[in-house]
Amino acid sequence: MQFFKSMKVQKNKSLKEFTTFKIGGRAKYFIKAKTYDEIKQGFLFAKENNLKTFILGKGSNILFDDKGYFGLVIYNNINFLRISKTNVYVGAGYSFPALGVKTANNNLSGLEFAAGVPGSVGGAIFMNASSYSQAVSDAIKSVVYLTLDGEIKILKKDDCNFEYRNSIFQKMNGAILSSVFSLKQDENAKNRQLEIFQKKIKNQPMNEKNAGCIFKNPKNTSAKILIDECSLKNYKMGGAIVSHVHPNFIINEKTATSKDVLDLMSHIKKVVKERKNINLREEVKVILP
> Per-residue confidence at 3, pLDDT binned at 50, 70, 90?
low
166-178 pLDDT per residue, tens: 999 999 999 999 9
- Residue 155 inside a domain? The answer is yes
199 lies in some domain? no
User: What are residue 259's phi and psi, to 5 degrees?
Assistant: -65, -40
What is the reported pLDDT for 246?
A: 98
283 in catalytic set: yes
With beta carbons less than 8 A apart as the criterion, state whether 66 and 261 touch: no
The domain total for the chain is 3
- Could you tell me if 45 and 116 lie in one domain? no
For the cut 70, the answer to whether the pLDDT of residue 195 exceeds it is yes
Residues 267 and 174 in one domain: no
> Is the pLDDT score of 192 beyond 70?
yes
Q: What is the mean pLDDT of residues 181-200?
A: 97
Q: What is the pLDDT of residue 7?
A: 73
**94 and 176: one domain?**
yes
Whether residue 109 is found in the same domain as residue 153: yes
Confidence of residue 258 (pLDDT cuts 50, 70, 90): very high
CA distance 134 to 196: 11
Taking each continuous run of H as one helix and of E as one strand, the counts in the chain are 7, 19
Out of 26, 165, 208, 229, which one is annotated catalytic?
A: 165
Q: Does position 6 have pLDDT exceeding 80, yes or no?
A: no
Residue 201 belongs to a domain: no
Does 252 fall in a domain?
yes
Cβ pair 71, 28 in contact under 8 A: yes
Q: Are the C-beta atoms of 4 and 72 separated by less than 8 Å? A: no
Question: Of 112, 160, 213, 230, which one is the catalytic site residue?
Answer: 213
Q: Say if residue 182 is in the same domain as residue 212.
A: no
> pLDDT averaged over the chain?
96
pLDDT at 76: 98
Q: How do residues 128-168 score in pLDDT, each as one tens digit?
A: 999 999 999 999 999 999 999 999 999 999 999 999 999 99
* Mean pLDDT value of segment 249-259: 97
Residues 222 and 160 in one domain: no
From residue 133, give the alpha-carbon distance in Å to each of 55, 110, 137, 243: 28, 10, 11, 24
Q: Which amino acid appears at position 265 of this protein?
A: M
Q: How confident is the model at residue 5 (pLDDT cuts 50, 70, 90)?
A: low
Q: What is the pTM of this model?
A: 0.94
| Within-domain flag for 2 | no
Question: Is 230 a residue of the active site?
Answer: no
Q: Are residues 185 and 249 in the same domain?
A: no
Query: Which contiguous run of DSSP H or E holds residue 240?
Result: strand 240-242
Q: What is the pLDDT of residue 2?
A: 52
Regarding whether 180 and 105 lie in a shared domain, the answer is yes
Is pLDDT at 286 greater than 90 in this prediction?
yes
User: Which pLDDT value is given to residue 1?
Assistant: 47
Residues 76-94, mean pLDDT to the nearest whole number = 98
Q: What percent of the chain has pLDDT over 90?
A: 96
> Among the three residues 166, 192, 218, which one is the final residue of a domain in this structure?
192
Instruction: Look at residue 198 and tell me if it is in a domain.
Output: no
CATH of the domain at 40: 3.30.43.10
Among residues 38, 160, 230, 283, the one annotated as catalytic is 283
Distance between CA 166 and CA 147 in Å, rounded?
19
- Shared-domain flag, residues 188 and 228: no
Contact 32, 41 (CB under 8 A): no
- 3-class secondary structure per residue, 93-124: CCEHHHHHHHHHHCCEECCHHHCCCCCEHHHH
Phi, psi at 229, each rounded to 5°: -65, -20
8 Å CB contact between 59 and 20: yes
Residues 174 and 262 in one domain: no
Which of 23, 53, 76 is at the close of a domain?
A: 76
Q: Which domain holds residue 123?
A: 81-192
